[in-house]
Amino acid sequence: MGIVNVTPDSFSDGGLYLDADAAVAHARALALEGADILDVGGESTRPGAEPVPTEEELRRVLGVLERIAAEDWVPTRPTAPAPSADHAYSPHPPRPQISIDTSKAPVARAALAAGAGLVNDVSAFRADPEMAAVVAESGAECCLMHMLGEPRTMQREPRYEDVVDEVKAFLAERLAFAVSQGVSEQRVLLDPGIGLGKTVEHNLELLGRLDELLTLGRPIVIGTSRKSFLDRVGRHGDGPGASRSPRERLAGTVASNVMAFERGASVFRVHEVAPVRDALALAAATLDGRWTQRRTARIPRS
């Protein structure tokens, strides 16, 4: 899942793709690198982020979504593994699924009409009481994520008795709610929300015990890309090299995604697609070729 932030304030690339031309070009580049899903968002969920009015969020994403949907994609993905960054790519990448990253029902509704097929809701249908109905009525797929509170407050001393048990219970409850509202269980993905209302220790515990979430029976999405906890693991003090910019966290991003893959995650939300895909392909070669069995342009149905 390649990230397309159409925002001025995202923590790692805010403002870079606020222009529609830049956002569409970035989406195409991610698809060329092998993204199966393009996740377009117009509201940052970084810690401390302020809410964006519905009208502004729509203004940011709608034209971008329409243009991505109209791109000249190859209709099906080849069965061969994705090439590395050192290889030439087809000028016509396979058609990716389009995802809208929003917690607002009007934005989701407009995005689905514009060509999106997946609603990625960080609030897990809690922020807008109409969201579940929009997803159910459209037949779209959705991703439900765990987040403690809201972006403005989620990192204020987050506490859990057992973070894995509590995140698992939350996701089970939200899955049951979605199904009760008419969303097909087979169209739901679950995301433990790494970095959203969690300390470094919580994030590491979730990654280490990620396989415990597999009993929920749905594909697990993992989103560690460029997050600050990657920079803080194993780094101490305030001296030279004590912190790195988000773009300098690729090694941690790759390592955490490989770890998540080994523990059962099947969708990887990242800023840099090619290096993560290459790392996952190599990891899968040691795990009975699971990457080639899982890789699909749509959400797994089983």
Catalytic machinery residues: 227, 269
The predicted model gives 214-232 an average pLDDT of 92
Q: Hey, is 44 helix, strand or coil?
A: coil
Residue with the bigger pLDDT between 294 and 280: it is: 280
- Cα separation values, 18 from 8, 25, 104, 272, Å: 6, 12, 19, 18
Give me the helices (H) in 85-186, please. 105-114, 131-138, 163-180
Measured in degrees and rounded to the nearest 5, phi and psi for residue 159 equal -135, 145
- Determine the pLDDT at residue 228: 82
Give the single-character DSSP code of 161. S
**Smallest Cα–Cα separation from 12: which of 238, 235, 272?**
272
Exposed/middle/buried for residue 207 (C-beta within 10 Å: 0-12, 13-18, 19+)? buried
Give me the half-sphere count of Cα atoms (radius 13 Å) on the Cβ side of residue 253: 23
**Smallest Cα–Cα separation from 119: which of 206, 75, 72, 183?**
183
CB 30 within 8 A of CB 273: yes
**Smallest Cα–Cα separation from 193: which of 251, 241, 154?**
154
- Rounded distance, CA 116 to CA 127, Å? 20
Q: Tell me the DSSP string of 228-267.
A: HHHHHTT--SSSTTS---GGG-HHHHHHHHHHHHHTT--E
- Percent of the chain beyond pLDDT 90? 64
CB 57 within 8 A of CB 21: no
Mean of the per-residue pLDDT values for the chain?
A: 84
Residue with the bigger pLDDT between 296 and 62: it is: 62
User: How close are the terminal C-alpha atoms of the chain, in Å?
Assistant: 19
2-79+91-230+246-294 is a CATH 3.30.1650.10 domain? no
Give the single-character DSSP code of 186. G
pLDDT surpasses 70 at 47: no
pLDDT tens for 143-199 read 999 998 765 555 567 789 999 999 999 999 999 999 999 999 999 999 999 999 899
pLDDT tens for 70-109 read 988 765 444 444 444 443 344 556 789 999 999 999 999 9
Residues 6 or more apart whose Cβ sits within 8 Å of residue 190: 143, 144, 145, 171, 175, 213, 216, 218, 219, 220, 221
- Determine the pLDDT at residue 16: 74
Residue 10: pLDDT band (50, 70, 90) is low
Residue 245, token pair as written in the block = 């910019």
**Smallest Cα–Cα separation from 268: which of 302, 245, 293, 291?**
291
- Domain extents for the chain? 2-79+91-230+246-294
pLDDT surpasses 50 at 32: yes
Q: Report the amino acid identity of residue 192.
A: P
Residue 232: pLDDT band (50, 70, 90) is confident
pLDDT surpasses 70 at 242: no
CB 136 within 8 A of CB 181: yes
